């Protein structure tokens, strides 16, 4: 998991957290953010669910617009392949 997160962080630039949706006492939250990939802007939302211990047990990430998501996908695939080419 850490490898994937590091690869994502190496591709995305200028992360800005915009807001959190959901009450502190809720198990479900939405975290809205903005980021760049290359010269394209992405708007995203992390949907997070926490278990009874307060630990994240489910995470769904949604990104838009599609053109920027395709660029992210292309770069992610290339870096993932490079990282594991010797494995």
**pLDDT digit string, tens, across residues 27-49:** 999 999 999 999 999 999 999 99
Tokens coding 68: 């920027």
Closest alpha carbon to 39 in 13, 18, 57, 76:
13
Tokens coding 18: 């915009």
Matching CATH number, 2-72, of 3.10.450.50, 1.10.1280.10, 3.40.50.300, 3.40.50.1000:
3.10.450.50
The alpha helices in 1-87, defined as continuous H runs, are 2-11, 66-84
Tokens coding 52: 């009874």
Judged by DSSP in three states, 29 sits in strand
Measured distance CA(58)–CA(47) in Å, rounded? 8
- Whether this prediction's pTM lies above 0.85 is answered by no
Check pLDDT > 80 for residue 87: no
């Amino acid at each position: 998991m850490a490898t994937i997160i590091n690869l994502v962080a190496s591709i995305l630039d200028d992360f800005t957290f915009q807001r959190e949706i959901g009450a502190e006492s809720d198990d479900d939250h939405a975290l809205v953010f903005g980021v760049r990939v290359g010269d394209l802007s992405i708007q995203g939302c992390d949907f997070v669910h926490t278990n009874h211990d307060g630990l994240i047990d489910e995470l769904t990430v949604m990104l838009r617009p599609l053109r920027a998501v395709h660029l992210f996908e292309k770069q992610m695939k290339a870096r993932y392949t490079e990282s594991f080419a010797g494995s």
